[in-house]
Amino acid sequence: MARKTYHFTSESVSEGHPDKVADRISDEIVDLYFRRSIAAGMSPWEVRVAAETLTTTNKVVIAGETRGMDVSKDDVEAVARAAIKDIGYEQSGFHHAHADVEVLLHAQSVDIAAGVDEGTGLHTEEGAGDQGIMFGYASNEVPEALMPAPVYYSHKILERLAEVRHSGKESGLEPDAKSQVSVKYEDGKPVGASAIVLSTQHKDGLSSADVSDIVMPYIREVMPEGWITDETIFHINPTGKFVIGGPDGDAGLTGRKIIVDTYGGMAPHGGGAFSGKDPTKVDRSAAYASRYLAKNIVASGLVDWANIQLSYAIGVSEPTSIYVELDGEHSALAERLEEVLPKLMSLTPRGIRSHLNLNQAIYAPTSAYGHFGRTPTEEGHFSWEKTDLVEAIKKAV
């Protein structure tokens, strides 16, 4: 941002939002193929999934292409129903046990496979699953996550509400919800929340005032101390009643919340969605790699924020370009980083999958509350959030 004083707004949507239900089912299918292939002794490097999901009133349609261990339609249907149940949908208009689930997955195109598989097509090395541009961003606005503040706190509000809903502490809440946080910046730094919007599905019989009484303590709990003042504007369920929600209230599709998934509009987005795609698709894996590199640059203390673009051609292993943008007067450092980053981490699809250990069933948790700013786990989730490249970056530059 060129200006020093401004307001910036980002939004989030809950795991029960129709689009996020679709994302969750698609990512569960990716995980299913990895689990089954690994259990059968097949190399996880051979797994290919591109699953798209449509959700609407008591209907789920799953389409796309796959390769790997044979997985039956019944198996796919089972993980879809389990995901819907875990989210919490047991409503007349969308119920995990009663919804009609249609599975239309088919084998991966041999032409696409020839461009991706090592030793096939026009190139000897494993190529990118598609052409595209991917961006990774990091900022020291939120030190513990190195994320932009507006999208980070939008996620945190909904995450907390989901926790108390699942625990039964707030039984009046239902799965579908949206949040929006407007942050005031002074001298380029976030200093407070100028407006907070929350719309959450709820049990019938609750008024807007009832819903406000439920959610306000949790909003205050997750926001930084001093950020909510008498001047902060709140809109809680501004349309009033919100009983019919989820796929029964609006259709959902995989990949429609790409800005929610990334940086809330604070950084560019290449356009490709993540959910439902195995990591040969650079839409996903290269976006993770660029975030990993940007986060490690900022974690090194060299700059306040970093933005990285990678680009690829289908069937070609090496990126066609790498671009680094940094805050302030750091053009020489940016040019130096463009030279050294590919030496610190292979940016080929195989190199990314190996470095970040992406050939695992780790994707379902990414489907809600953002792919970035999350905590890496011992099980391999969110490996791209590690800051284990800091010392190598410092030494290299």
Summarised one tens digit per residue, pLDDT across range 209-225 is 999 999 999 999 999 99
Look at residue 4 in the predicted model and tell me its pLDDT.
Answer: 85
| Domain 18-116, architecture per CATH | 2-Layer Sandwich (3.30)
Which one is catalytic: 257, 284, 353, 381? 257
Look at residue 250 in the predicted model and tell me its pLDDT.
Answer: 96
CATH classification number, 132-139+268-396, choose in 3.30.300.10, 3.30.360.10, 3.40.50.1370, 1.10.101.10: 3.30.300.10
Which one is catalytic: 65, 125, 318, 338? 65
List every span in the chain annotated with CATH 3.30.300.10: 6-12+149-245, 18-116, 132-139+268-396
pLDDT bin (cut points 50, 70, 90) of residue 78 is very high
pLDDT reading at 1 higher than 80: no
Active site residue 102: no
pTM, entire model: 0.95
Q: Quick one: three-class SS letters along the chain?
A: CCCCCEEEEEEEECCCCHHHHHHHHHHHHHHHHHHHHHHCCCCHHHCEEEEEEEEECCEEEEEEEEECCCCCHHHHHHHHHHHHHHHCCEECCEECCCCEEEEEEEECCHHHHHHHCCCCCCCCCCCECCCEEEEEEEECCECCCCECHHHHHHHHHHHHHHHHHHHCCCCCEEEEEEEEEEEEEECCEEEEEEEEEEEEEECCCCCHHHHHHHHHHHHHHHCCCCCCCCCCEEEECCCCCCCCCHHHHCCEECCCCHHHHCCCCCCCCCCCCCCCECCCCHHHHHHHHHHHHHHHHHHCCCCCEEEEEEEECECCCCCCEEEEEECCCCHHHHHHHHHHHHHHCCCCHHHHHHHCCCCCCCCHHHHCCCCCCCCCCCCCCCHHHCCCCHHHHHHHC
Active site residue 203: no
Which one is catalytic: 24, 155, 202, 256? 256
Active site residue 20: yes
pLDDT reading at 117 higher than 80: no
Which one is catalytic: 11, 20, 83, 284? 20
CATH classification number, 6-12+149-245, choose in 3.30.300.10, 3.30.360.10, 3.20.20.140, 3.50.50.60: 3.30.300.10
Active site residue 281: yes
Active site residue 74: no
Summarised one tens digit per residue, pLDDT across range 154-208 is 999 999 999 999 999 999 999 999 999 999 999 999 999 999 999 999 999 999 9
Active site residue 277: yes
Which one is catalytic: 17, 156, 184, 291? 17
Active site residue 52: yes
